[in-house]
Amino acid sequence: MNDQAYMAQALRLAEQGLYSTHPNPRVGCLVVAGEQVVGAGWHQRAGEPHAEVHALRQAGVLARGATAYVTLEPCSHQGLTPPCADALVQSGVQRVVIAMQDPNPQVAGRGIARLRGQGIQVDLLEGELTAAARALNCGFVKRMEQGLPFVRLKLAMSLDGRTAMASGESQWITGPAARADVQVLRARSSAIITGADTVMTDNARLTVRAEQLPLDAELRDLALSRPPLRIVIDGGLRVSTDLAFFIAGPVLVVTHQKPPANTANIEYIQLPEVAGHVDLVALLQELGRRGVNELMVEAGPHLAGAFMQAGLVDELYIYMAATLLGSSAQPLMQLPIDMMADAVRLKITEMRALDDDWRIIARPLPAH
């Protein structure tokens, strides 16, 4: 096997941290002596040992003279755990292959410099594996580079682009397979955000539900141990805290009015007002400061449209059912566009059948 094959294996290890590492990145590590994998590890949760430490512990003395494959540049600073660069030096590895440099300003090349300064050969890969490593940590990378979370907008619609009946009834447009996929999407998110109308109309909880999460026992337990922060934008403080959304666990309420005092389960924050609504850019900046890597937007047509109109959506997950709801039903989003030249263009990156439904993943294209 070559460097690319070993790194691909390390990336598959890193993917196991998809649901539990935030605010940390997902990282995998292989230690290879000759052509034998003698150590393998992945980072599970913030505050716990990093991938390199798990792999080096497994390798033991066999790490001396070996090659380590790491999906992200080893850290060189003291955080909740000791620097991984030092652990690699002390292990006696001869060479370290890295998929991507760490965008964290506290690391940003210092880990590589530390290893090279101790006489270890360091090779930084380029190309598809580097792109895959960045994609795996899209939220962490964006937060480090821009101070903002990666925003993923989830939409469920009928074949005629409707999301609910005129009455607000929307359960269920899609089938069980699509709804299980949404549970996976929630589980990988650092936070889930919705609007006051969704909480009041649907009595939504927006929790990760163990019985619907199609993961093996270990990953499911990890996901449930680090549930996403649930956020509601309630500019006018209209939502009753007796609803299921608040009873289901801790909640962050975002408003532009003077908020009431926090309670055991509810934290309130006041952000600037723009045109009668909470400033979404200020909100994303605040969430970035709080360590939110990936933000999932599960909201009604007004808030979904507001995120799209502001150009704040990085990726859309659209679940489409083979159902027609008719012209009286509610539209996908409120997005006022008058001219074809102003239409929002999307690049579809994946289409997949989920039993009778379709999942479409798309990214907004830059405006011309």
Binding residues: 50, 75, 84, 156, 170, 172, 186, 198, 202, 206, 209, 298, 300-306
Catalytic residues, by residue number, are 52
User: Residues at the annotated binding site for Zn(2+)?
Assistant: 50, 75, 84
What tokens were used for 328? 């009286």
CA distance 15 to 86: 24
Residue 310 phi/psi, 5-degree rounding, is -80, -5
User: Residues at the annotated binding site for NADP(+)?
Assistant: 156, 172, 198, 202, 300-306
Contact between 253 and 268 (Cβ < 8 Å):
yes
CA distance 189 to 293: 8
